[in-house]
Structure 1
Amino acid sequence: MNRSLRTPTKRKWLPAVALALSSGSLAFSVGAIAAPEQQQPEAAEQQKLHDIAAHINADNIERDITKLVSFGTRHTLSETASDTRGIGAARRWIKAEFERISADCGGCLEVYFQSRVISGEPRIPDPVEVVSVIAVQRGTSDPNRYVIMSGDIDSRVSDVMDYTSDAPGANDNASGVAGTLEAARVLSKYQFNGSIVYAALAGEEQGLFGGRIMAEQALADGWFIEAVLNNDMIGNIEGINGVIDNTTARIFAEGTRMDEQPNEANRRRFTGGEVDSPTRNVARYIDQIADRYIPNLDTMVVYRLDRFGRGGHHRPFNDLGFPGVRIMETNENYNRQHQDLRTENGIKFGDTLDGVDFDYAAKLTALNAVSLASMAWAPAPPANVAIAGAVQPSTSLSWDKIPGAAGYKIYWRYTDQPQWQFSRYVGDVTQFTLDNVVIDNYFFGVASISADGYESPVVYPGPAGAFRVGRDN
């Protein structure tokens, strides 16, 4: 295994300070900023989140990836009758693993197949049942609020329609499924306020069908999806460019939401929000989780839906207005993706076990598990967040009271900064005015906080930042 010898540099923001001349010398004043970040306590350090990160086991992930590779191919169109080869055998094994995990926690998971027959598509011309495996860990007090971790079952080789050749798919994407299984093993030992869903989605390579089926069903069932964490390739540390790095990861997050309406776009033009979709604020949340709880991992939030011109299983959720990000390795090796197994000119092609770093996959799995736990223990994000302050010296925010929230925190940052810089805990209220903080100079948001200090993602005011499908803002 490759192990890093360096610790990544963590981003730290210094509070804004106003300079003034006093008695011929420089003096510092914070009065114009009104409660900068250093005057507020840090977010509560949660020992349980450290414990969750520490219990993610790289050996379990290696075992599960090895088992998934053993099915030869997991192509969506591959055979389903065999117990040892093809997509059918793979999904039955995944379901059995979730059921085993559920048995260990006294039946805490609802495990089921979710399917639909797809046909008439460019990559599925004839009728094929696309079958995903879903495991739901119900929340105790807010069960209709869901945070989701997903990975993709299926694999492929160079020809996307070749369903008979060996397609190991060790990294793409047995790593994501193995990480989802391991997160379920660890998190099922706890109880949460909100529900956590572990999803092994099918049909990704043929057109993102598993995610589309799940997202459409969630919308029909009225699920409040707070976040989808799609894991697609979390095990490679050796890039095609020769870089070897196990200390960084990427979080892809769209900006303007796909389902934005024309009147909402016009409002956003005058009030902002193009970099504060709920997806972006989920990504910022995960980035902060990495800094606080995952040793030797620095995450990079990428302001795109996915890699340039490409896609993943979070996209169908984004299409319907649900917040969703893609978590993955920083350095891809294209010789190992979507390739026939072969060696040419001394270069080995194919997505095989020797291209996976299991410790790194465990590190990214820990990032997912801690992020899921933190959101599920926290109250729901604030709803109906509104803001006012045009042509005024101060900025006022308001929001609805959230069940389970003991208080709220207002965040703000300069408009050219990627992360929240300043914050103020305002207690159990539903409106607050930041005196002498001019609305024109910052972006603002509000987070809910539980009595024991778990925070929700930040919600930007208005429809651009609303977490609930249907626009409560």
Structure 2
Amino acid sequence: MYKKLLTLLLAVASPSLFAQTITQRNPEIAKLVSEVSSDSLENYVRTLASFTSRHTLNRDEENGMPAAQRYVLNKFNEFSKQSGGRMTAEIENFTIPADGRRITEDSPAANVIATLKGTNPADDRIFVISGHMDSRNKNVMDADGFAPGANDDGSGTAAVIELARVLAKKEFSATILFVAFTGEEEGLKGATYLADKAKEMGWNIAGVLNNDIIGNSNSSETLISDNLKMRVFSETIPAFETEQMSRQRAYTNAENDSKSRQLARYIKEVGERYVDQFEVKLIYRSDRFLRGGDQTAFARNGFTAVRMSEMNENFYHQHENVRVENGIQYGDLPEFMDFEYLRKVSAVNLASLSSLANSAGIPEEVQIDVRGLTNKSILLWKAPKVGKVKGYYVLMRETSSSMWERKFFTTETTLTLPYSKDNYFFAVQSVAEDGEESLAVFPSPLSR
């Protein structure tokens, strides 16, 4: 009797405990997610790891970096046959200048890039999915020793290849770049080259999903085994922040609302919508503690970029020579990877990328009215420059919450909510005709 009464009281007092969450999936995206194959990913990783070394400075045409780059290019070209001419691929050569550290003299290098051209001529947005294909041993200057680099970062490169395979046949409004970078271990050289080129040429890079070390589910030392979570790293204060941006960030308390943080939230929401039995963890750092990745080069140039990574790293199989020592097998070998886990991380990437590339553009000139003291919040914005919308979501969360908690739909370009801006944060995102949502835009204050 007591248990029945307690259950009834809880139901009356706390209806939210029993609230249902409705998940709506786009059937087309769900089908694409189902096509991501752990077998295909394993095949790519094992092939990449079979080259003696993928060190950036390795010039072995038969069994080194050049051969591995041709392999990735051949896969891209194979998949491009499904695209109706919309996908093209190339090895883009460049020179890494000597830096007096890990590059002792000017050295040739190359990125391997597949471009899936968007179908909307008015949509100049570019979304980038990337990983780095160079590997290394404990001595970063060892260009010739056996360095399989299965997980670091054969896993990220494999995800890029697999997404190119699945998405080549699909049409998207925006353009997608599938990039296998070179020179990450030498100081983000390939990513820096492409990010600088994008900035110089005025490319509208709307989001970078960088994948680095995404195929292992077992940690060293702590012995944690968990294939149910992944991490997304996003910067708090933009690397390119100007003095004016800094003042507005401080004025609006937007430390947790950088563009990269909005992308990370988007990936969590969409990834968990389409990938079952999986949690995307938001990490409030631009990368792991005192470490970096290729997304950093894009962030420095003002682009929105995040890093995708496994939840628990195993340092016996990262930046280590292949050997057995004290009964422990060291080295970045394929047999220490979890390819079902890699499939899940790849699927999160695919769902997020597909949704973004077919979304309408972000709402323009998003503002929150602060011209008077009121307990209501008035938001105003303009329609996006690209795409047709059926409406907008005004997002709301408590200041202590990491994720948006409520979505208010409207077909207008303004909405007044009976919630105080002193107690909540807001943002606005557009909703395309087929339901795909844009990235959220944090409002600037409208004071006069």
Q: TM-score, normalised by structure 1?
A: 0.87
Alignment of 1:438 with 2:417, yes or no, is no
Alignment of 1:393 with 2:372, yes or no, is no
Q: Corresponding residue for 1:262?
A: 243
Amino acid paired to 1:108: R
Equivalent position SS for 2:240: coil
Q: Corresponding residue for 1:22?
A: none
Between 1 and 2, higher relative CO (CA 8 Å, sep ≥ 6) is seen in 1
CA distance 1:27–1:89, change in 2 (3 Å)? closer
Please say if residues 44 and 453 of structure 1, whose CA atoms lie closer than 8 Å, have aligned partners that are also in contact: no
The structural deviation recorded for 1:406 is: 2.3
- Report which stretch shifted further, 226-235 or 384-393: 384-393
Q: Corresponding residue for 2:115?
A: 136
- Report which stretch shifted further, 152-161 or 89-98: 89-98
1:204-242 superposed Cα distances (whole Å, 9 cap, x missing partner): 000001111111111122222221111101111110120
CA distance 1:162–1:27, change in 2 (3 Å)? closer
Choose which of 138, 141, 151 in structure 2 pairs with 1:171: 151
Q: Corresponding residue for 2:329?
A: 348
Choose which of 321, 325, 329 in structure 1 pairs with 2:302: 321
Alignment of 1:301 with 2:282, yes or no, is yes
Equivalent position SS for 2:273: helix
Q: Aligned pairs, how many?
A: 426
CA distance 1:42–1:382, change in 2 (3 Å)? farther
Please say if residues 224 and 312 of structure 2, whose CA atoms lie closer than 8 Å, have aligned partners that are also in contact: yes
The structural deviation recorded for 1:44 is: 4.6
Amino acid paired to 2:424: Y
Q: Corresponding residue for 2:6?
A: none
Q: TM-score, normalised by structure 2?
A: 0.91
Amino acid paired to 1:423: K
Alignment of 1:109 with 2:90, yes or no, is no
Amino acid paired to 2:137: V
Q: Corresponding residue for 2:36?
A: 56
Q: Describe how 1:77-116 pairs up with structure 2 within 5 A.
A: 77-80=57-60, 82-83=61-62, 85-116=63-94
Alpha-carbon distance between aligned partners in 1 of 2:123 and 2:428, rounded to the nearest angstrom: 22
Please say if residues 149 and 332 of structure 2, whose CA atoms lie closer than 8 Å, have aligned partners that are also in contact: yes
The structural deviation recorded for 1:27 is: 10
Q: Corresponding residue for 2:319?
A: 338
Q: Describe how 1:69-468 pairs up with structure 2 within 5 A.
A: 69-80=49-60, 82-83=61-62, 85-121=63-99, 122-141=101-120, 142-240=122-220, 241-389=222-370, 391-402=373-384, 403-404=386-387, 405-427=389-411, 429-434=412-417, 436-462=418-444
1:227-286 superposed Cα distances (whole Å, 9 cap, x missing partner): 111110111111012011111100111111111111221121121211001100111111
Amino acid paired to 1:227: G
The structural deviation recorded for 1:43 is: 7.3
The structural deviation recorded for 1:455 is: 0.6
Equivalent position SS for 2:209: strand
Amino acid paired to 1:117: T
CA distance 1:237–1:44, change in 2 (3 Å)? closer
Alpha-carbon distance between aligned partners in 2 of 1:159 and 1:118, rounded to the nearest angstrom: 20
Equivalent position SS for 2:403: coil
Q: Corresponding residue for 2:4?
A: none
Alpha-carbon distance between aligned partners in 1 of 2:204 and 2:378, rounded to the nearest angstrom: 27
Alpha-carbon distance between aligned partners in 2 of 1:419 and 1:188, rounded to the nearest angstrom: 32
Amino acid paired to 2:390: A
CA distance 1:342–1:112, change in 2 (3 Å)? same
CA distance 1:67–1:143, change in 2 (3 Å)? farther
Alpha-carbon distance between aligned partners in 2 of 1:462 and 1:97, rounded to the nearest angstrom: 45
CA distance 1:156–1:27, change in 2 (3 Å)? closer
Q: Corresponding residue for 2:7?
A: none
The structural deviation recorded for 1:433 is: 2.1
Please say if residues 43 and 453 of structure 1, whose CA atoms lie closer than 8 Å, have aligned partners that are also in contact: no
1:130-149 superposed Cα distances (whole Å, 9 cap, x missing partner): 20011111111154101111
Please say if residues 385 and 460 of structure 1, whose CA atoms lie closer than 8 Å, have aligned partners that are also in contact: yes
Gaps of 5+ in 1: 1-25, 29-37, 464-473
